[in-house]
Chain A
């Protein structure tokens, strides 16, 4: 079990700050949602937590250890990433791509063995990707590739998982299926999960806690009911009076109306 933490972190590309003085954490068993408008820096947070970029200032701690002093292979045994719309080499099969998740667990002179193959097979069964196993990845749809990436991160067997828009390419059936799986793993295996989510309704349904980032800072933080409110959504997204209560589970739900269909609540 490991905790992910950012302490007063400023992130940027070429000294142009994208995020300033960000502090956040994700604890074991907790699913934290990262929400915010386009270009607010959700993916940048994920790149920083997986040490693809280094912070300009501040500290990033993975299980209490500074990410700067953690060797890359060790880090990849602790933190797995599901990238957004990844480019995959067309000549590999889906099974080979999933098996690459074992890479951080293998030394330079080692190769995957029967145990690693079994782990990959199990992950493909869990994510419903077994029928794709021997297909080349250039033949797969965006949604199928997204599921493969989830399978790969399971194969990586990390204690923390970062997801960048894990449901962006999925139909609603697959969205619920994949997020249910992530939710279950997070609770059962006490994983620390941080997911950048574009869809506010999915974020409200699945996350324990939400971090709303806007204009280089954390604008709001708390339970979905605390973060997704009429006031905050208007401040950040400009959409007025669109938060309702889910009829079944009472969680906040965003429902949009076109201007020509505005009703009394929105005009109020």
Chain B
């Protein structure tokens, strides 16, 4: 067998590969900050990026910059645009992380965050919210009844799939996927029926289903952030075990992984961050399946790097697509789900063709 000099030094090649990915994480973090500044500058009122940047810095604790801008500008940046940008980033990060987790856990490249019923459950919950004669937003909750019901619907649907798929003390992955697809189809048809019989709220429902960040507020970030931060943190802690799970379950057990407990923890974490995200912004597609694949194509399959890189790439991608969605046809907003696929699919197909190696 021809051995090349690089292969003769397995450790140094491996370590330099790790270093490259570490620098990529740092580079993407810087890019994320730049994208936040850019996205808060663009809108119906044009604000120069340097000014936006100073307003954002001034908004940070312990930073005080003498204002050279009118107060109204600061309000636009801090109370209208910034929450929208941050929520988009959070949701993008959450969906990309959940997608990477499901793909890894199920060892299935077609897995996305909605594979086991989250989206259909959330949609059904949201539609029930639209149809209920309750005023929105609810003064007690501080936000509408729709996100609450969507969240409950998502969790109930996933719990049902989980209970249906359980065989004795184990949770076979194929059974889980099949139960998810079947229950998803059932809920999906109920959703379709409710949509056509929903009358005057039909437009609202369809707009919700396609996803939008147009109603973003700081209070929503306060609710979504804890779920996404804790859930993503838990998943990243288990990243090394998720690598071992890429072998079959038997080998993972023989390498010391408590496979059933790992499945339970990761499913719960990924489901919670997905449910928290879609409850407020609707079931945005494409991000959860494509971002993890793009990251894997560029940086490899080690989940200890794949997951943080997916968080950053998902956040940047979602902020940029939301920027396109609200500016291209301004003042009309395009549903975000339309933009994610239009912008993302060609880029992904380009990656797919450029790399000739096996991707999953």
Contacts and interface: CB of A to CB of B under 8 A. Distances in A.
A and B interact: yes
Interface of A: 47, 50-52, 71-77, 79-81, 83, 86-93, 95-97, 99-101, 103-104, 106, 108-109, 111, 117-118, 120-121, 124, 130-136, 138, 156
B11 A136 contact: no
A243 B111 CA distance: 54
B7 A50 contact: no
Interface string B195-227: 000000000000000000000000000000000
Contacts of B8: 130-131
Interface in B127-176: none
Given A47-B250, A100-B247, A136-B357, A124 B300 contact: no
A22 to B, nearest CB: 20
Interface string B214-248: 00000000000000000000000110110110111
Contacts, number: 113
A30 B253 CA distance: 25
Contacts of A77: 256
B351 to A, nearest CB: 14
B14 interface: yes
A149 to B, nearest CB: 9
For chain B, the bracket of interface size reads: 35 or more
Nearest to B11: A117
A52 B250 contact: yes
- Enumerate the 8 nearest inter-chain pairs by beta-carbon distance, A residue then B residue, closest first: A76-B256, A133-B10, A104-B256, A131-B3, A91-B301, A89-B246, A73-B256, A81-B254
B331 to A, nearest CB: 45
Given A90-B360, A91-B296, A131-B7, A108 B237 contact: yes
A56 to B, nearest CB: 14
Given A81-B251, A121-B11, 7 more contacts: A52-B254, A95-B10, A95-B14, A103-B241, A103-B257, A109-B237, A135-B7
A104 B3 contact: no
B247 A86 contact: yes
A134 B13 contact: yes
Contacts of B3: 130-131
Interface of B: 1, 3, 6-8, 10-11, 13-15, 107, 237-238, 240-241, 243-244, 246-248, 250-251, 253-258, 296, 300-302, 304, 357-360
A74 B257 CA distance: 10
A130 B10 contact: yes
Contacts of A47: 250
B178 to A, nearest CB: 20
A96 B21 CA distance: 15
Contacts of B302: 92, 96
Given A83-B251, A100-B255, A134 B243 contact: no
B10 A134 contact: yes
A72 B14 contact: no
Select the residue from A76, A86, A91, A101 with max chain B CB neighbours within 10 A. A91
A100 B244 contact: yes
B87 to A, nearest CB: 30
B238 A108 contact: yes
